A and B are shown apart, each in its own frame.
Chain A
Amino acid sequence: MLNKTLIYTTIRLQSCCLSGLLSFCLIFLPAPLYAVQITLNVADVTAPSFTARGIKVVLAQEGSAEFSIDELHMAEKTWRKVHVHCAEFLLSSARVTCRKGKLDAIPDLPFTLNYEFASQRLELQFAAKANELWQVNADFRAQPWRATALLRNAQGKRLTDFLSPNWPLPTQGALNGKLEVQGDKAGVSRINADLQLADVAAADASGLHAAEKMTGTLHVDAARTGQKWDWRGALDWQSGELFWQPLYLRGGHTLQAFGQWDGAQLKVTQAVATLPGVGKVELNALWDVKKSDLLEGRLLGKNLSLAKGFTDYAKPFLEKSALSATELTGNADVDWQYRNGATQSLLVKLRDVAVVDGEKRFALHGINADIPWHAQELNVAHVAFADGELMGLSLGATQWQIQMRGQDFIMPTATLPILDGKLEVSDFHMQNVNDMWQWNFSSSLTSISMQKLSAALHWPEMHGSLSGSIPKVSYQDKLLKVDGTLLFRVFDGTVLANHLELFDPFGRAPRLSGNLDMRELDLDLLTRTFSFGNIQGRIDLGVNNLELVQWVPVRFDAKLASSPGKYRKRISQKAVENISSLGGAGGVAALQRSFLRIFENFGYNRIGLSCVLRNDICTMAGVEDNGNAYTIVKGGGIPAITVMGYNRKVDWSELITRLKRVSQDNKAVIK
């Protein structure tokens, strides 16, 4: 026999309404009695932000109950085929109770539920091994209604299904604390949370936002008036690590903040963040949450320590710039204001700051500066430093006044002390055009001692001076261009450098090009400096189409010739041997075998040698050609000597190796 009873029922709660058609299918199975069960099919249950469809309840005679829900929608999430088992289920006119309940999705977290219809009180408790507890008590009849969640060793990963997959999802760690919620007919009106995080880990799919071993406390208090929320929060992040591309931070941060939230915009009226090893920073901001856009912001910090501040918070954003290997020390005051999609002002005060490039390209020490930058207004920055270094050259103390208006910086005059001289800069102008920085200036270089310069650059010691007038130096699209002529006074002669261009000065392979014109260099001084074997006389050397990549010559047309005029011309036997060994060995062998070896030095009429460097091969020529051979030193006087070269093509790297050997050992290399 089969009996069916249909019962229509409605269940009303304070804030939600359950309605549906319960069809009680009373199935009396023939025998035995313990097999009796009741199956209830509920069409659907709906409430604000909650729906359940396809509910089936099977009540067994021994008091257990099985619930299956085809589709459950809650907190903007949907679960399908949800199955709940209650070992002890009781439904009376006073209450509904489920003891030793189990959700299929979380079988290791049994629960107990009790709901009193009259008092509208709910008690829900999930408890598991390892002392884990999620306990919710709610009173829906109270005005306002309230619910409290108590968490004890609550595993964070259980929240994964409730959170947006676009955010880092918890994978480990526990939550402890209390969450209180109050509400009225319009919904939740007050939230109060006191949570402790222990050993929490979370990560998003890409791994670009992740945290590990996070321990700390979070306190949030928020109340709604109409549509507006007033909130106040405090975060104490005690330990653990966080990677938020490109920032990597460790615990020790605290944040206290308060503000408003209207469903679209989050306002941080005031926030104070303590950054470990850096100092305190005050913030306020207006954030468009939907567009993920900062509408307004201000950051204020006094006496911030730059050492850790720059490394932790600025350098990660500078990986692709010349500052990626820079270290900063010292202190700074910062006041940054942002509005309408751009920085409106940045006021920076630097106290005893040092900037040091990790690749030793530049350094500045003892920087004190006041930089009141505004996007629209004209302001003057005062910058001073005590000393520094640029490409191995030491810089002296100076101070500059920089006129700033937006992305336009002007310095009418400035002095940069280099070694014992000075670079006097005038009309320095730097600007950002189409998102590319460019600058130019004109300058003059007052006498720098070559002795100091050669020591600083680890060259053989030279005497003389370097000076010059440079009508214009400009930098644009990675190209540093020097218009005008640099004048060096070395070896009692002059060196003029012009058409100098340096491409990508801070890149991996800087490329320098230009021309050098050297006149009347004293060979006696020159050969002594480079330990070449003494030569007396004067030479002119022209180097055109010079190109250096990574400071190594790759191309030039060089021509060396005795200077015009009358002067003493003598060449030592050692120098003859050295010259011969560079250009070809034939002449030296002849010298060694002949009676000429008894003379220490010889007279000469002219010296001349040219080298056209292409593809690492130097094509040589001398004073005059003699068939396949060429004359390098043409004899004159008594005793006279003529040195011939026989190799027209010489491997440049090999030539340099030989020159170095000659210079270092002061010994001829004769093959």
Chain B
Amino acid sequence: MNNLIRICFALFVLSVSAVASAQVNIEINTPGVVALKQSMQTRHAQLADFYASGAVGLTSDGLVALRDANAVPLAARQKVNGLVAAENQDRKALYAEIARANAHPEWEGDIRNTFAQRWIQRAQAGWWIQSGGSWSKK
């Protein structure tokens, strides 16, 4: 089943890169996933600076977290809080939607783990990532 999820994720990544193949048996581009992807892409432009400054990091469970609020000007800390909350809401919904669209809601945890690894692999150098409860700079 893990292989299936890896394929599923690979397809998602491919579709993000706009080179998706038409030979898709696993549903990955549902309107729900598309809506979530768009919402996350729009937000990414706002979050990118905070990843780079180390204020926000990628957690080992496929979410993001406010890692070092001191790296953010005081007036923007509330906004970062909001961005992190909204991003996590979308990420959880994304994992659930992919599992549901493939008629296997029980895959949600595995999909989340696979995504967590891939988010971290795809993170830019200098971003902070969590592993085993502690943070390190990629």
Contacts of B74 in A (CB 8 A): 210-212, 241-243, 248
Residues of B within 8 A of A (CB): 24, 27, 29-36, 39, 66, 68-72, 74-75, 77-78, 81-82, 85-86, 89-90, 93, 97
What 1/0 mask marks residues of chain A from 307 to 335 whose CB sits below 8 Å from any chain B CB? 00000000010011000100000000000
Q: Are B69's CB and A208's CB within 8 A?
A: yes
Q: Are A207's CB and B68's CB within 8 A?
A: yes
Contacts of B75 in A (CB 8 A): 241, 248
Number of A-B contacts (CB under 8 A): 79
> Does A5 count as interface, using CB distance less than 8 angstroms?
no
Among A207, A242, A549, contact of B70 (Cβ-Cβ < 8 Å): A207
CA distance A511 to B33 in the complex (A): 12
Contact A319 to B93, CB < 8 A, known contacts A212-B74, A243-B77, A509-B32: no
> Does A552 count as interface, using CB distance less than 8 angstroms?
yes
Can you give 21 contacting A-B residue pairs, CB < 8 Å? A203-B70, A206-B68, A206-B70, A207-B72, A207-B77, A208-B77, A210-B74, A212-B74, A245-B81, A246-B81, A248-B74, A248-B77, A316-B78, A320-B85, A324-B85, A509-B31, A509-B35, A549-B30, A550-B31, A554-B30, A615-B27
> Does A4 count as interface, using CB distance less than 8 angstroms?
no
Contacts of A509 in B (CB 8 A): 31-33, 35-36, 93, 97
CA distance A291 to B75 in the complex (A): 31
**Least Cβ distance of B128 to chain A in Å?**
14
Contacts of B30 in A (CB 8 A): 549, 554
Q: Are A319's CB and B85's CB within 8 A?
A: yes
Contacts of B81 in A (CB 8 A): 245-246, 316, 319
Q: Are B90's CB and A508's CB within 8 A?
A: yes
**Least Cβ distance of B54 to chain A in Å?**
11
Contacts of A206 in B (CB 8 A): 68-70
**Residue with the greatest number of chain A CB neighbours at <10 A, chosen from B36, B74, B82:** B74
With both beta carbons as reference points, the residue of chain B lying nearest to A312 in the complex is identified as: B78
Contacts of A507 in B (CB 8 A): 93
Residues of A539-553 whose CB lies within 8 A of B? 548-550, 552
CA distance A212 to B34 in the complex (A): 42
**Least Cβ distance of A460 to chain B in Å?**
22
Q: Are B72's CB and A508's CB within 8 A?
A: no
Residues of A220-273 whose CB lies within 8 A of B? 241-243, 245-248
Contacts of A616 in B (CB 8 A): 29
CA distance A552 to B32 in the complex (A): 9
Contacts of A508 in B (CB 8 A): 32, 35-36, 39, 89-90, 93
CA distance A210 to B89 in the complex (A): 27
Residues of A179-223 whose CB lies within 8 A of B? 203, 206-208, 210-212
